[in-house]
A = this chain, B = another copy of it.
Amino acid sequence: MSQPIILYDTPSKVPGNAFSGNMLKARRVAQYTLAYKGLAFKSVWVELPDVEERMKAIGAKPTGRRPDGSDFYSLPTIQDPSTGATVSDSFAIAEYLDKTYPSTPAVFPPSTKALISVFDSALMNTIGPVFPVMAVVAAPKLYPRTEEYLKRQLEIRMSAKWEDISPVGPKREEGWKNIKAAFGVIDGWYSKSGGKWIMGDTFSYADVIVAAWMRSFSVLFDKEQWEDMKSWNGGRWGGIVEDINRYSILD
């Protein structure tokens, strides 16, 4: 590989911590996959409202459809100058990198791709209910255009006004309890693995996703909130963030 891979990503105001609404976890997953593999990359920042135009311009494929049937484009997307490939979606990016750079550590151990893809969905279903609380806490840390875009999108998806999504008080407290319950479910998964990672002693894409979420929580929530989270489940989450932070990422 002669030139670094280009990672299209979304910026935020928080120093060292970008944020992209719904793509929050996905962008970190791409970063950590690249970093874990030791592949050089450089980030190109695209604000959310500009994603579609920019992705079309570089010939990226849509990653889904909007409710109205139109194409939906999302970040992260990579461009690999060494092969000319453009790949969107963090799972597809990891698959591409495992295949294209077989001498780097694999994030999909042999024969685990389907199981890990089911894990990915199950994790999203488990973490999903905590997203509204997180979005409300994190929104003020975004660039104004991205913040407005995220607010509008979330209001549509939740069929609620922004200020009603997770107001301080009983609703926020209930949200916090839901987060703790979700963490408990994920902790139960780890406890079955017989080791530190979801595949026991083998680090995999499943851990990359969990770590991506946890790292995001560690920077998006307030300090006391993250301190609380770190105390849950025997300190598992703080440990995972500490481990993933060994792989330095540019953000």
Contacts and interface: CB of A to CB of B under 8 A. Distances in A.
Interface stretch (A8-16, A112-120, A132-140, A238-246): A112-120
Contacts of A202: 111
Given A121-B122, A122-B121, A114 B201 contact: no
A165 to B, nearest CB: 25
A193 B118 contact: no
A206 interface: yes
A111 B206 contact: no
A110 to B, nearest CB: 8
A117 B199 contact: no
Interface in A183-230: 189-190, 192-195, 198-202, 206
A111 B117 CA distance: 16
A249 B122 CA distance: 32
Interface in A97-118: 109-118
A109 to B, nearest CB: 7
Chain A: interface residue count, which band? 20 to 34
B117 A118 contact: no
Contact of A115 (B110, B112, B121, B195): B112
B115 A199 contact: yes
Contacts of A115: 112, 115-116, 118-119, 198-199, 206
A199 B109 contact: no
A11 B15 CA distance: 64
Contact of A114 (B111, B117, B125, B189): B189
A40 to B, nearest CB: 29
Contact of A122 (B113, B118, B200): B118
14 contacts: A109-B111, A111-B193, A111-B195, A111-B199, A111-B202, A113-B193, A114-B189, A114-B198, A114-B200, A115-B115, A115-B119, A117-B189, A118-B189, A122-B122
A114 B197 CA distance: 9
A199 B122 contact: no
